[in-house]
Amino acid sequence: MPPLPGLRRYLISLTCLGSLSAVVVLVQAEGLATLLTGGGIGVPLVVAIAARVLLVGGQGVFTGRFTASVKAGLRRRLLGSDAERAGVVATRITKGVDVTDSYLTGYLPALVTSALVPVAVLVRLFATDLASALIVAVTVPLVPVFAALIGLHTKSRTERQWGLLSRLGGHFLDVVRGLGTLKVFGRAGAQERTVREMAAAHTDATLRTLRVAFLSALVLELVATLSVALVAVPIGFRLLEGGVTAHTAMLVLVLAPEAYLPLRAAGTKFHAAAEGLAALRDVLAVPIRSPRTGTRMRRRGAPEIVLERVTVHYGEHRALSEVDLSVRPGEHVALIGPSGSGKSTLLAVLLGFVTPTSGRVLIDGVDLRELDQADWLADVAWVPQRPTLFRGSVEENITLGRETDVATAAKAAALDQVVAGLPEGYRTRIGELGEGLSSGQRQRIGLARALARTDTGLLLLDEPTARLDHRTEAAVLSATRRMLGGRTVVLVAHRPAMTELATRVIEVHAGGLRERELT
Ligand code: ADP
Ligand code: MG
């Protein structure tokens, strides 16, 4: 597990706060003993009480801030992780990061305090009254011992429970996504049963954990209360016999519970924190894509692209082998070839989404790896094979927050007729799966999104009209043609009609390229 950023500073600060509270506890007990034996309210007592209030409040603010920043960092990290199942990622980013609260703001501070305050109290007791100090010294360790015994029993349980919750999230999303298909094939009932069973298992696991948590709280309270009684009874008798002064007896009585209090607090927070710790381990163990480190900026405008012996592997599978390609600025290249031949992979390499296993990509003579990724992507418009839509209006899905001419782009993508049929036009809200839209309509939104970016030097089109009928395709192609001037274009053509946009046609076959004569 990689270390949590800033954890050391946090622990050091908590230790300082804990030491301060230990001092304050001692001063306060001294003052209370004086007050209760008729000595009157002293200034130290008032100061100690005020300081205790401030310390508790200050610690709350401090731990809250630290946890908020840690959580933001974890979420950012998770967003950059290699996505596996979306549902698992979603559970991690929301619930997974939230439950770390219980560990970071609840358990850790309590743990630090429980290591410092009892020691300070014990030292003070040994200096005051040996017999009471010995009783406390023997009984205080009982609290963590009992807590550890119960904890051992529940650790595996909470970890299992967290795993169960992640799986449930992943499964649920998959099922909901595929509900339409499942319904058609009459399998919806079986899935409903699975989800119901998993939810029931999760409920059971939660209740079992809660039961143990309540039981352990009871045990810890009992141990602490009995221990205090063990100190209080003999001290009472000795006070009657005149063995100790009233002030000493009071001091011991006020101090003894303070030795158990932080341990009890840590014990009760332990169970909630166990889930938080399990989640934290899980979140930190997620592999993170190494960030691209390029920093070079380039001048905007149609780029020259050169691929030199570019090979791409997906695990064992080789998708591109030693590809050489040179595209002049402003040239329009069409890639053709059977499905699975590596056309989309080539575009992904140009975008920088896929890093070649060997070989290099030169943009205007500069290695793509040396370019600042955000700066490079700002000059690329891309129509992916399956555009990703976001929850929001049609308009927001086209502009992606930029200032663009939505109407013109939509018209070029033949989206205007589609939008005219929507209940609220461009303001119609769509979900991230494009609910209520056909795959052709979704593709047109993706096309409009790319065409709206008229200012980019490079345009990448991946089968942009694959889901359109011939008439719409013809309209889209003639509108698109008008937007290509002065830009470098690489398009994946799945139909001959599209190659008409190109000045050069290249055939991709099993990861290799072959130039085709233009007919
Ligand atoms: P095309 O776009 O020409 O249909 P792709 O470039 O999408 O082909 O894919 C080329 C080959 O690489 C295919 O065999 C495909 O199965 C494989 N492939 C594509 N993307 C991935 C990926 N993310 N992980 C593993 N294999 C992939
Ligand atoms: Mg493809």
pLDDT tens across 146-167, in order? 888 877 777 777 777 777 777 7
Q: Does 492 score more than 90 pLDDT?
A: yes
- The amino acid present at 142, given as its one-letter code, is L
Domain membership of residue 298 (yes or no) is: no
Map residue 128 onto helix, strand or coil: helix
Rounded-to-integer distance, Cα 518 and Cα 505, Å = 7
Domain membership of residue 297 (yes or no) is: no
Q: Which residues of 160-173 are buried (b: 16+ CB within 10 A; e: fewer)?
A: ebbebbbbbbbbbb
Length of the chain: 519
Rounded-to-integer distance, Cα 429 and Cα 381, Å = 24
Q: Do 265 and 329 belong to one domain?
A: no
CA-CA-CA-CA dihedral for 426, 430, 436, 438, to nearest 10: 70
Low-confidence winner among 20-34, 79-93, 196-210, 440-454 (lowest mean pLDDT): 79-93
Rounded-to-integer distance, Cα 33 and Cα 27, Å = 10
Q: Do 65 and 185 belong to one domain?
A: yes
Q: Which domain holds residue 255?
A: 7-284
Hey, what are 268's tokens? 């009760």
Q: Which of 310, 317, 386 is the best mutation target for the ligand 1 pocket, counting ligand atoms within 8 Å of the beta carbon and taking the most?
A: 317
Q: Are 85 and 170 in contact (CB under 8 A)?
A: yes
Q: Which of 310, 344, 354, 507 is the best mutation target for the ligand 1 pocket, counting ligand atoms within 8 Å of the beta carbon and taking the most?
A: 344
pLDDT at 85: 63
Comparison of pLDDT for 435 and 83, the residue scoring more: 435
pLDDT at 83: 58
Q: 């850790």: which residue's tokens?
A: 108
Q: How far is the CA of 166 from the centre of ligand 2 (A)?
A: 32
DSSP string, 368-380: GGGB-HHHHHTTE
CA dihedral sign of residues 170, 173, 176, 181 = negative
Domain membership of residue 289 (yes or no) is: no
Mean pLDDT, residues 90-102 taken together: 85
Domain membership of residue 388 (yes or no) is: yes
Q: How far is the CA of 490 from the centre of ligand 2 (A)?
A: 13
Rounded-to-integer distance, Cα 401 and Cα 388, Å = 15
Q: Do 327 and 276 belong to one domain?
A: no
Q: Average pLDDT of the chain? A: 87
Q: Does 118 score more than 90 pLDDT?
A: yes
Q: Do 276 and 327 belong to one domain?
A: no
Rounded-to-integer distance, Cα 228 and Cα 248, Å = 16
Q: pLDDT over 90 for what percent of the chain? A: 41
Q: Are 440 and 460 in contact (CB under 8 A)?
A: no
What are the C-alpha distances in Å from 78 to residues 97, 159, 292, 371?
A: 10, 20, 16, 24
Q: Do 248 and 149 belong to one domain?
A: yes
pLDDT at 314: 87
Domain membership of residue 294 (yes or no) is: no
Q: Which of 345, 351, 353, 513 is the best mutation target for the ligand 1 pocket, counting ligand atoms within 8 Å of the beta carbon and taking the most?
A: 345
In this structure, the number of other CB atoms found within 10 A of the CB of residue 47 comes to 14
Comparison of pLDDT for 508 and 175, the residue scoring more: 508
Q: Do 319 and 280 belong to one domain?
A: no
Mean pLDDT, residues 65-86 taken together: 81
Gyration radius of the chain's alpha carbons: 34
Q: Does 263 score more than 80 pLDDT?
A: yes
Q: How confident is the model at residue 345 (pLDDT cuts 50, 70, 90)?
A: very high
Q: Does 486 score more than 80 pLDDT?
A: yes
Q: Are 457 and 303 in contact (CB under 8 A)?
A: yes
Low-confidence winner among 20-34, 262-276, 352-366, 414-428 (lowest mean pLDDT): 262-276
Q: Do 355 and 271 belong to one domain?
A: no
Q: Whose CA is nearest to atom 22 of ligand 1?
A: 314
Rounded-to-integer distance, Cα 481 and Cα 451, Å = 11
Atom of ligand 1 nearest to the CA of 335: 3
DSSP string, 329-386: TT-EEEEE--TTSSHHHHHHHHHTSS--SEEEEEETTEEGGGB-HHHHHTTEEEE-SS
In this structure, the number of other CB atoms found within 10 A of the CB of residue 211 comes to 11
| Site residues for ligand 1, CB cut-off 6 Å | 314, 317, 319, 339-345
Q: What is the CATH number of the domain that holds 63?
A: 1.20.1560.10
Comparison of pLDDT for 143 and 5, the residue scoring more: 143
Map residue 483 onto helix, strand or coil: coil
Q: Does 450 score more than 70 pLDDT?
A: yes
| Maximum average pLDDT range among 172-176, 261-265, 318-322, 466-470 | 318-322
| Maximum average pLDDT range among 94-108, 164-178, 205-219 | 94-108
> What percent helix, strand, coil does the chain show, rounded to 5?
65, 15, 25
Q: How far is the CA of 343 from the centre of ligand 2 (A)?
A: 6
Q: How confident is the model at residue 205 (pLDDT cuts 50, 70, 90)?
A: confident
Domain membership of residue 236 (yes or no) is: yes
pLDDT at 323: 93
pLDDT tens across 278-337, in order? 888 888 887 766 656 778 888 888 999 999 999 999 888 999 999 999 999 999 999 999
Q: Do 349 and 262 belong to one domain?
A: no
Q: Do 276 and 312 belong to one domain?
A: no
Domain membership of residue 299 (yes or no) is: no
Rounded-to-integer distance, Cα 236 and Cα 49, Å = 26
Q: Whose CA is nearest to atom 12 of ligand 1?
A: 319
In this structure, the number of other CB atoms found within 10 A of the CB of residue 516 comes to 13
Cα–Cα nearest to 456, from 405, 366, 381, 368: 381
Q: Does 29 score more than 70 pLDDT?
A: yes
- The amino acid present at 50, given as its one-letter code, is A
Residue 501 φ then ψ, to 5°: -75, -15
Q: pLDDT over 70 for what percent of the chain? A: 96
Domain membership of residue 484 (yes or no) is: yes
Q: How confident is the model at residue 449 (pLDDT cuts 50, 70, 90)?
A: very high
Q: How far is the CA of 319 from the centre of ligand 1 (A)?
A: 6
Comparison of pLDDT for 108 and 182, the residue scoring more: 108
Provide the number of structural domains found in the chain: 2
- Judged by its nearest atom, the ligand closest to the C-alpha of residue 335 is 1
Q: Do 227 and 327 belong to one domain?
A: no
pLDDT at 390: 85
Q: What is the DSSP letter of 30?
A: H
Using the 3D structure, point to which of 231, 255, 284 is the last residue of a domain: 284
Low-confidence winner among 8-17, 91-100, 323-332, 480-489 (lowest mean pLDDT): 91-100
- Distance of alpha carbon 73 from its chain centroid, rounded? 8
Q: What is the CATH number of the domain that holds 395?
A: 3.40.50.300
Mean pLDDT, residues 18-35 taken together: 92
Rounded-to-integer distance, Cα 219 and Cα 497, Å = 78
Strands 380-383 and 458-462, bridge-based pairing: parallel
Hey, what are 199's tokens? 């939810």
Rounded-to-integer distance, Cα 5 and Cα 16, Å = 19
Rounded-to-integer distance, Cα 191 and Cα 423, Å = 33
The residues facing 211 across adjacent strands are none
H runs (alpha helix) in 39-141: 43-79, 86-91, 97-98, 100-101, 108-128, 130-139
Q: Do 163 and 85 belong to one domain?
A: yes
Q: How far is the CA of 350 from the centre of ligand 2 (A)?
A: 14
The long-range contacts involving 228-232, CB below 8 angstroms and separated by at least 24 positions, are 228/256, 228/257, 228/260, 230/135, 230/139, 231/132, 231/135, 231/136, 231/256, 232/256
Q: 């992640």: which residue's tokens?
A: 166
Q: Do 35 and 138 belong to one domain?
A: yes
Cα–Cα nearest to 491, from 333, 363, 376: 333
Q: Are 309 and 356 in contact (CB under 8 A)?
A: no
